[in-house]
Amino acid sequence: MAAALPKFTFDQFKERFPNEEACLNHLFKIRYSNIAACPNCGKGFDYVRVVGRRCWQCTQCSHQLYPTAGTIFHKSTTPMETWFHVLYMFCITRNGVAAKEIERSFNVCYRTSLRMAHQFKDLMNSGINEKMTGQIQMDETFIGGSDTNRHLNSKAKGKEKTAVFGMLCNDGTAVSDVVPNTKSKTLLPIIQASVERNSTIITDSSQSYYYVWNNFKKHEVVNHLKCEYVNKNGYTTNGMENYFMHLKRMIKGTHIQVSEKHLSKYCAEHSFRYTHRNSPDKMFDIALNRLMK
């Protein structure tokens, strides 16, 4: 039997962050724990909490440090406890968190909840700087609902579905983003910028990938047109298809409708969650640590 995945239960979350003070203390710690001297007076780092403010003060020169300065929490009047709780929801969910759900669950207006949701998406969007290497599945999909359910205006304007391209490495890292089209000249630069040359690329038999064979170590093709789902060498793109299935479920089931303008952010959020899906306990800390970069 496979080992059970680690959990990050609500009880564990509340134990770590029981109140506003615990959240602020945590931010102060991840932001300033590596500093040995006061950045203003240069003497030892001896800061004390200023009551009633989100800041700490140097006991030598009274210089103040705000751990939330320059982060998404900057100037927000929403309690840090609420911010942390919403981030917890973002890490625990499989199908995303709607802004309306945040509005219903907390004492915040819809504008605030929408801003929080988008800021967490931005937070999850950053972070993958290294090129992927190993065995990488690639595929593309189209998002935008079926024509039969479309509003007459959308049909009349000839709006097309939005293309999304995705890559899934065998180390678990997943990325996806909106692309203007799925032509080979569009996809090749993206793949070259994200994948090491010594990698094995696994795709379906689409023409979009015909150039892959001479740019990377190996190109394994799974021919879906012949109802092949595992090729003769044992390669498959099932992982990537599973990824897109979850992305579509998140968009249809939770957000109902996502504008083309924001679709990229939803892809990034899903990629982040998918990449860290086997370690929800660490996902929260990874997301929060990105704030301090």
> Does position 60 bind Zn ion by CB under 5 A?
yes
Long-range pairs for 94-97 at CB < 8 Å and ≥24 separation? Answer: 94/246, 94/250, 94/273, 95/246, 95/249, 95/250, 95/253, 95/254, 96/250, 96/251, 96/254, 96/255, 96/266, 96/269, 96/270, 97/254
Which CB atom, from 44 or from 70, has the smaller least distance to Zn ion?
44
Distance CA 94, CA 270 (A): 9
> Does position 44 bind Zn ion by CB under 5 A?
no
**Closest distance to Zn ion from the beta carbon of 60 (Å):** 4
Which CB atom, from 45 or from 211, has the smaller least distance to Zn ion?
45
Among 61, 230, 245, 292, binds Zn ion (CB under 5 A): 61
**Closest distance to Zn ion from the beta carbon of 214 (Å):** 60
Look at residues 185, 220, 187, 177 and name the one whose alpha carbon lies nearest to residue 202. Answer: 220
> Does position 230 bind Zn ion by CB under 5 A?
no
**Closest distance to Zn ion from the beta carbon of 42 (Å):** 7
Which CB atom, from 40 or from 223, has the smaller least distance to Zn ion?
40
Residue-wise over 37-46: b if at least 16 C-beta within 10 A, else e?
ebeeeeeebe
Choose one: 19-27, 58-66, 75-83, 249-257; the region binding Zn ion (CB under 5 A): 58-66
> Does position 40 bind Zn ion by CB under 5 A?
yes
Q: Is the separation of the CB atoms in 63 and 38 below 8 Å?
A: yes
Choose one: 54-62, 83-91, 143-151, 213-221; the region binding Zn ion (CB under 5 A): 54-62
How far from 5 is each of 32, 85, 278, CA to CA, in Å? 32, 22, 6
> Does position 63 bind Zn ion by CB under 5 A?
yes
**Residues numbered 88-147 forming contacts with Zn ion, rule: CB under 5 A:** none
How many residues interact with Zn ion (rule CB under 5 A)?
7
Kindly list the residues in this chain that would bind Zn ion in the complex (CB under 5 A): 38, 40-41, 58, 60-61, 63
